[in-house]
Amino acid sequence: NMPGSALSCTATFNAKTYTVTVNKAGTGGGTVGGGGSFTYGTAVKPMATPDNNSVFVGWSSAQCGTGFNMPDSDMTCTATFDVKKYNLTLKTAGTGSGTVSGGGTFAYGSPVELTVSADVGSGFKGWYPAPCANSFTMPSSELTCTVTFGKVYNITLKTAGTGTGTLSSLEITSQPHFSGEAITLPATRPSSDSTFAGWSGCSANFSMPASDTACTAVFNLKPSHTLTVNKAGTGNGTVSGSGVYPEGTNISGYITATPDADSLTTTRSCPTYMPASDLSCTVTFEKLYKVTVNKTGSGNGTVNVVGGLKPGAFLSSEYAYLYINATPDDNSYIASWSSAICADLASHKIIKLPASDLTCTVTFRKYYNVTVSKTGDGEGTVSGGGRYKEGESVTPKVSGNTQQSRFTGWDNPICGNTFTMPTSDVSCTAKFSKAYRVLTSYNITFAESAVGSGWTEGDGYHLPGETVTLIMHNHQGSIVGPLDACILGCSDLTYEQARLDQWCRLTPSSLFPYSFTMPSVNVDCRIFSYKYPEVSAEESGNKASSSQPIKKKICSTCRANERDDPTVDTPVDTAFTSFQFGGGVGTIQFRKPVSSVTLRIADNSGDTTFTAYDANGVVLKTIPVSGATLQAYTIDNVGDILKVVISSSNAYVEDISYDTEIVPGDTDFDGDSTLTDTIIMLRVLSGLNPGATIYPEISLNRKQVTLEDVIVNLQKVAGVR
């Protein structure tokens, strides 16, 4: 709003500013100035100053050079500078002549290339002043370059004389030379038979005259001498090269030595060059000896000689690097060599050979086969077959010969023993035959009689076709009757059925001894036997039974982990022969068959297995034993040998006892009452040492031996009882 007094207002206006940019251009150099920001109408004058080797050419706009008032817009002014240029003048001088080109005007620092060409008979000698040359850079001044040409002359090199030789270089002949130039001729190289006599037409070093010059090297032959080539040695051949040669001649190329087919050149005494005197030299020929290889024998193979100074040939004075290859065929082998030296060559040894031809004969022999096989219905294995050399020892072997399977012989008599391999193949067939069992048992035919006992000689395993003879041995108190019947392998029938079956029956009743031919089946033979009537109390003075089984203790502690024999802490039983027990395996042997054995077994380590076998390896009983508590086990049908296997070495056995038949009066437990038993009884009654342990059980009263026992025994010996 308008105030209540007079008011004065002033407006301010500033002039606008514009930019002047000053640049430079051209091949030269210099400085420019005067640019910047200017108000409209202000006076402006740009400046331009060239370098020493440049010139200012002008401004891009004429007003930039004269100055101007700043217009109402920006403005650019460009100053141009060029490099200064100078004249190059060319001249020639000297005794020779030629042409030069390339002169003219050149900017400072620009490259200059001049071309010089000398006329025939002239040569280019050089430029002056510096920096004049075929190529240089133009300086910052005017320049006159002068090229100098001079007259040139050629050198020719030649050889002459009676000898020969060469020069080390021909380089000085490849270009002309200026008069007065210092010349050095190349070195001379005379041949071995020549000498250098000197230069002709010039010296080795001279100043080049103002004319062409020829220089000749003179070589003359050395004096000549006579060469005589001889031959020597045990061999033969031809030589050549004898003649007259100048001293120093390389005579090795003239001397030749050709050995005959059976010879070899070994030495040459000739030098390489002819000496300054007559010379006699010798070529030595040594005789070559041959190695010839033959072969013989029943076998075959290949032989050849490898190496040698000539194929298969050698010198006796040197070690021969040759050897013999001898390779037998697959079915053959090397039996021998005709000499030790031939064997060494075949072994590829480097040896000194004799001064004579050598013939080596190798003997090849055939391998022959031994075929080993088996036949028959038995089981077994054979060995010893294979490939053998002639004359080598051969031993066919058989294994697996058991009671149930028998080795019965070889088909070839030679195979039965170790034999020397003949010159033919050999076949050996072993026969294994299955054996069959003859088992005897006792039968009773009288109802009022008890079954007797005894043992039979001839039972066991036999081969088919063998003659089996059964002989019955009765035990004390038993009477052996006739053979009831032998039954063939009719296992599906009862005994009573089989003995009535005509196909099973082998023989009718027969008395002992009884013989028959063993068939290809098991045989079961029943024997009549019954016992003596028991001795009455009135007859014997006691009521003890003479055939009651008694139990005898072998030992009370028999440990399986004791390697030594166990402690037998009761008197050794007369019926007991031996006991061995250690490492888990035990064998008990009795003087006569035992019906049963009782053992108490324990295992401290835990569980074990106890297995009992009879004398033929037949398992009688397998018992698992558990824990450390002793338990009793009984094995029946033992016989005279019991084998025990315990799987744990920590197991132990105690209280081994057995049941057996005690024959009254049988003091030595041989199964019968004999005069020997009677004598032992009399020694006991007389108070003498009986020489054996006497058990009261063998007496009639089962308590002690009395005179009545002696009387009864004498009656048995006499056959009246």
**Nearest CA to 715 among 579, 552, 535, 498?**
535
Task: Name the range with the highest mean pLDDT among 218-222, 573-577, 584-588, 618-622.
Answer: 218-222
Structure tokens given for 711: 């009387």
| CA 465 to centroid of chain Cα atoms | 57
State the average pLDDT over residues 42-57: 91
- Are both 600 and 635 inside the same structural domain? yes
Please give the pLDDT value at position 79: 94
Task: Name which of 115-124, 158-167, 186-195, 479-488 the model is least confident about.
Answer: 479-488
- Are both 526 and 551 inside the same structural domain? no
State the average pLDDT over residues 700-718: 80
CATH number where 675 lies:
1.10.1330
Quick check: 612 and 619 in contact, CB under 8 A? yes
Reported as a single tens digit per residue, the pLDDT across 76-120 is: 999 999 998 899 999 999 999 999 999 999 998 899 999 999 999
Domain enclosing residue 624, as ranges: 547-661
- Are both 616 and 527 inside the same structural domain? no
Banded pLDDT at 450 (limits 50, 70, 90): very low
- Check whether 566 has a pLDDT greater than 50: no
Reported as a single tens digit per residue, the pLDDT across 242-271 is: 999 988 889 998 999 999 988 888 888 899
Pairwise CA distance, residues 525 & 545, whole Å:
29
State the average pLDDT over residues 594-602: 74
Reported as a single tens digit per residue, the pLDDT across 537-550 is: 333 332 222 333 33
Please give the pLDDT value at position 605: 65
Quick check: 260 and 284 in contact, CB under 8 A? no
**Nearest CA to 521 among 558, 486, 484, 469?**
486
Please give the pLDDT value at position 647: 65
Quick check: 429 and 637 in contact, CB under 8 A? no
Task: Name the range with the highest mean pLDDT among 7-11, 531-535, 552-556, 646-650.
Answer: 7-11
Pairwise CA distance, residues 348 & 642, whole Å:
67
Q: Is residue 325 part of a domain?
A: no
Q: Is residue 24 part of a domain?
A: yes
Q: Is residue 609 part of a domain?
A: yes
Q: Is residue 403 part of a domain?
A: no
Please give the pLDDT value at position 591: 56
165 vs 527, which has greater pLDDT?
A: 165
- Are both 656 and 697 inside the same structural domain? no
User: How many beta carbons lie within 10 A of that of residue 564, not counting itself?
Assistant: 8
Q: Is residue 347 part of a domain?
A: no
* Percent of the chain residues past pLDDT 70, beyond the cut: 76
Residue 238 bridge partners (DSSP):
258
714 vs 689, which has greater pLDDT?
A: 714
- Are both 656 and 567 inside the same structural domain? yes
State the average pLDDT over residues 186-205: 91
* Percent of the chain residues past pLDDT 90, beyond the cut: 41
- Check whether 555 has a pLDDT greater than 70: no
Quick check: 701 and 540 in contact, CB under 8 A? yes
Task: Name which of 182-191, 242-251, 260-269, 585-594 the model is least confident about.
Answer: 585-594
3-state helix, strand, coil in the chain (%, to 5): 10, 50, 40
Which of 152, 181, 205 represents a domain boundary (last residue)?
A: 152
Please give the pLDDT value at position 449: 38
Pairwise CA distance, residues 671 & 681, whole Å:
16
Please give the pLDDT value at position 477: 45
Quick check: 93 and 132 in contact, CB under 8 A? no
**Nearest CA to 625 among 644, 642, 646?**
646
DSSP reduced 3-state for 579? strand
- Are both 451 and 509 inside the same structural domain? yes
Reported as a single tens digit per residue, the pLDDT across 278-294 is: 999 999 999 989 999 99
Structure tokens given for 685: 């009654």
Helix 707-718 × helix 675-685 angle, to 10°:
160
Banded pLDDT at 660 (limits 50, 70, 90): low
Q: Is residue 359 part of a domain?
A: no
Q: Which residue reads 């007079």 in tokens?
A: 6
Whole-structure pTM over 0.75, yes or no? no
Pairwise CA distance, residues 628 & 101, whole Å:
134
Q: Is residue 346 part of a domain?
A: no
Q: Return the HEC string of 628-670.
A: CCCEEEEEEEEEEEEEEEECCCCEEEEEEEEEEECCCCCCCCC
- Are both 493 and 444 inside the same structural domain? yes
The DSSP bridge pattern shows strands 237-240 and 256-259 to be: antiparallel
437 vs 425, which has greater pLDDT?
A: 425
Structure tokens given for 487: 């039954």
Task: Name which of 146-155, 436-445, 482-491 the model is least confident about.
Answer: 482-491
Task: Name the range with the highest mean pLDDT among 400-414, 536-550, 564-578.
Answer: 400-414
Pairwise CA distance, residues 170 & 174, whole Å:
7
- Are both 656 and 718 inside the same structural domain? no
- How would DSSP label each residue in 210-223? SS-EEEEEEEEEPP
Look at the chain and report how many structural domains it folds into. 7
Banded pLDDT at 342 (limits 50, 70, 90): very high
Banded pLDDT at 318 (limits 50, 70, 90): low
CA angle 430, 434, 435 (to 5 degrees): 125
Pairwise CA distance, residues 566 & 573, whole Å:
15
139 vs 549, which has greater pLDDT?
A: 139
State the average pLDDT over residues 160-188: 91
What is the sign, positive or negative, of the torsion defined by CA atoms of 394, 400, 403, 407? negative
State the average pLDDT over residues 358-387: 94
Please give the pLDDT value at position 582: 44
- Are both 159 and 148 inside the same structural domain? no
State the average pLDDT over residues 452-464: 73
Residue-averaged pLDDT of the chain = 79
Amino acid letter at 293?
V
Pairwise CA distance, residues 495 & 654, whole Å:
40
Q: Which residue reads 């799987």 in tokens?
A: 647
Amino acid letter at 298?
S
Banded pLDDT at 578 (limits 50, 70, 90): very low
Q: Is residue 717 part of a domain?
A: yes
- Are both 161 and 182 inside the same structural domain? yes
State the average pLDDT over residues 584-589: 63
State the average pLDDT over residues 175-193: 91
Which of 240, 272, 287 represents a domain boundary (last residue)?
A: 287
State the average pLDDT over residues 13-40: 90
133 vs 533, which has greater pLDDT?
A: 133
Q: Which residue reads 């009549």 in tokens?
A: 528
What residues contact residue 627 under an 8 Å CB cut-off, 6+ apart?
602, 603, 606, 607
State the average pLDDT over residues 563-574: 35
Identify whether 696 is preceded by a cis peptide bond (ω within 30 of 0). Answer: no
- Check whether 681 has a pLDDT greater than 60: yes
- Are both 100 and 163 inside the same structural domain? no
Please give the pLDDT value at position 538: 35
- Are both 73 and 105 inside the same structural domain? no
State the average pLDDT over residues 53-76: 90
Which of 641, 661, 681 represents a domain boundary (last residue)?
A: 661
DSSP 172: G
